[in-house]
Amino acid sequence: MNGIHDLGGMTCFGPVRREEGEPIFHADWERRVFGMNLAALAFLGPVDRARHAIERMDPVEYLTTTYYEHWLAALVTMAKDLGYVTEQEIETGRLVGIKPTPFRAPNAEAIEGLVRHGMPATRDDARADPAFAVGDRVRARNIEVAGHTRLPRYVRGKVGVVAARHGSHVFPDTAAHDRGENAQPLYTVRFDARELWGDNVERRDCVYIDLWEDYLAPATSRPRT
Amino acid sequence: MSDHEHDHDHPHGAPPSPYHRSERTGDRNKELTERVNKLESLLIAKGLVAKDALDKLIEIYEHDLGPMNGAKVVARAWVDPDYKRRLLEDATGAIAELGFGGLQGEHMVVVENTPKTHNVVVCTLCSCYPWPVLGLPPAWYKDAAYRSRIVIDPRGVLREFGTALDDDIEVRVWDSSAEVRYLVLPERPAGTDHVSEAELAARVDRDAMIGVTRVSPP
């Protein structure tokens, strides 16, 4: 989907505002929302589904709420979508029914293990031969995606150069929607500022962005440099 | 340096970033507190969240993880050329040598600042960030203002952080769109030849490892 979360390249939000001595959490509810999202990840995940739940927020609400309000919205959306809670339960706080979970919720020890070991996105059983090599010119495909994607609008249709390969990674566009992990080669692609932002751009800036193989096609024209 | 000195670089009348526009009022905080309390009770009662796991997570991310970890990686790379080589070749492995890794740091890449190259990290689509080495991100990193503009106007954004870059320096913006997480290896400041590794680590702050500032000389 082409959502409000896809912010790259907009210039309308004013200066970056910093907060001196910013605490890690601004309120206790932020702590609880952060913790609940990770503690329930085993039932609500994968992470791609969590990101898509945020992307589906009302755009005005998205821009006028804080980060942990986004996480709260995602938590509620996922728990409802998966049938674990109802809107009525959330509003009243009164438990009506319980949908059994496939296993017990991870305890503190299991959670410490998750934090320490992480959840690698790489898969061994993936496509054997990467289509592109470092130095290849590639075009980020201009494709319409109905659901979740990690192909931002600002690179679609643009030509860049493969800067690195990262093995095969789970593909968010399918993983977010229970359509399989579809692991495939992931590349870092370099795009020059002029290619991304316009023919009148002179500055020596560039963007490196990680793109999956299904997002890329061989480039048939030279990038503008 | 003050936060808001550089506003004159920008069009007047532009709205402040959403985080500041929507700073939580007492009423909204109360509403959120009540909503979150109800949700927490429900998720625990339904067996989706274990209370001890929730408390453990908050403890880890509020106390154990933070930019002090990344600073140790940077300082080690500054004093040990072999370590630096390993860090640039296989960041995940080299960072694990110092005992750091895990969630949101499974696939690390370290990018090196040089006199001719300046690196800066963002996640335009959400707010991906290398938790094991930097902890949880500051609000500005998650704001629309930073995420939207750093890719198109990195020099302007860096100026707001007090970082002026000559025109002949190439600015590389790393947009963390996948599960690879980026850490900037800042340039070692001049005049620190005889400074110990621990003292060097104490000089390296979060913003320099995101790439919005440099590490200042003593």
How does pLDDT run across B70-82, given as a tens digit for each residue?
Answer: 999 999 999 999 9
A26: which chain B residues are within 8 Å (Cβ-Cβ)?
A: 24
Are A98 and A79 in contact by the 8 Å Cβ rule? The answer is no
Q: Which residue among B126, B146, B180 sits closest to A16, beta carbon to beta carbon?
A: B146
CA B209 vs CA A105, A125, A166, B75, B160: distances in Å: 35, 34, 22, 12, 17
Worst-scoring range by mean pLDDT, A17-21, A178-182, B185-189, B203-207?
Answer: A17-21
Q: Which distant-in-sequence residues (6+ apart) come within 8 Å of A2 by Cβ?
A: A153
- The neighbouring-strand residues paired with A169 are A122, A184
Torsion A17-A22-A24-A26 (CA) sign: negative
| The pLDDT value given to residue B28 | 87
Measured between CA atoms, the residue of chain A closest to residue B92 is: A120
Report DSSP state, residue B9: G
Q: Among candidates A78, A115, A113, A85, which has minimal Cα distance to A99?
A: A85
Query: What does DSSP say about strands B170-175 and A205-212: parallel, antiparallel, or unpaired?
Result: parallel
Q: pLDDT band at residue B11, thresholds of 50, 70 and 90?
A: very low
The strand pairing partners of B174, in sequence order, are A208, B121
User: Mutation test of the interface with chain B: which of A7, A80, A88, A103, choosing the one with the most B Cβ atoms within 10 A?
Assistant: A7
Q: Report the SS3 class of residue A168.
A: strand
For A28-117, CATH number out of 1.10.472.20, 3.30.1370.60, 1.10.3720.10, 3.30.2270.10 equals 1.10.472.20
CB atoms near residue A31 (< 10 Å): 21
Q: What pLDDT does residue A126 have?
A: 66
- Residue B180 to residue B172: CA distance in whole angstroms: 16
Q: Smallest Cβ distance to A18: which of B3, B58, B62?
A: B3
* pLDDT tens track for A123-182: 987 677 899 999 999 999 999 999 999 999 999 999 999 999 999 999 999 999 999 999
At residue B27, the pLDDT reads: 86
Nearest residue to A77 (alpha-carbon basis) of B156, A223, A69 = A69
pLDDT at B196 over 60: yes
Model confidence pTM above 0.90: yes
Instruction: Give the model's pLDDT for residue A200.
Output: 93
Known catalytic residues of B are 123, 126-128
Domain span(s) for CATH 1.10.472.20 in chain A? 28-117
Within A16-158, residue ranges assigned H as helices are 28-39, 41-44, 47-55, 59-64, 67-81, 87-92, 108-117
What value does the mean pLDDT take over residues B183-192?
97
In this structure, what DSSP letter does residue A122 have? B
Complex ipTM tops 0.90: yes
Do residues A185 and A130 make contact, with C-beta atoms less than 8 angstroms apart? yes
Nearest CA in chain B to A99: B46
pLDDT of A223 reads 57
| Contact (CB<8Å) B172/A208 | yes
Query: Residues of A with CB below 8 A from B61's CB?
Result: 24, 34
Residue A171 is given by DSSP the state: -
φ, ψ (nearest 5 deg) of residue B160:
-65, -25
Enter the CATH code of domain A137-218. Answer: 2.30.30.50
Distance of alpha carbon B192 from alpha carbon A31, whole angstroms: 39
pLDDT in tens, B105-158: 999 999 999 999 999 999 999 999 999 999 999 999 999 999 999 999 999 999
Give the model confidence (pLDDT) of B18-27 as tens digits. Answer: 545 445 678 8
∠ CA A79-A82-A87, rounded to 5°? 50
How large is the C-alpha radius of gyration of chain A? 20
Domain with CATH 2.30.30.50 in chain A: 137-218
CB < 8 Å from A in window 6-65 of B: 6-7, 9-10, 14-22, 24, 29, 32-33, 35-43, 45-50, 52-58, 60-62
> Is B167 part of the contact surface with chain A (CB cutoff 8 Å)?
yes
- Copy the structure tokens of residue B16: 């402040």
Cβ-based contacts of A154 with chain B (< 8 Å) = 124, 151-152
Structure token pair of residue B211: 């790439």
Report pLDDT digits (tens) over B144-166. Answer: 999 999 999 999 999 999 999 99
Q: How distant is the Cα of B203 from the closest Cα of chain A, in angstroms? A: 17
Instruction: Provide the pLDDT confidence category of residue B13 given band limits of 50, 70 and 90.
Output: very low
Mutate which: B2, B5, B25, B58, vs A, most A CBs within 10 A: B58
Cβ–Cβ below 8 Å for B125 and A152 = yes
Question: Best of B9, B28, B29, B32 to disrupt the A interface by mutation (most A CBs within 10 Å)?
Answer: B32
**8 Å CB contact between A155 and A196:** yes
CA distance B173 to B148: 12
CA distance A140 to A132: 13
Residue ranges in chain A modelled with pLDDT below 70: 126, 221-225
Residue of chain B minimizing CA distance to A120: B106
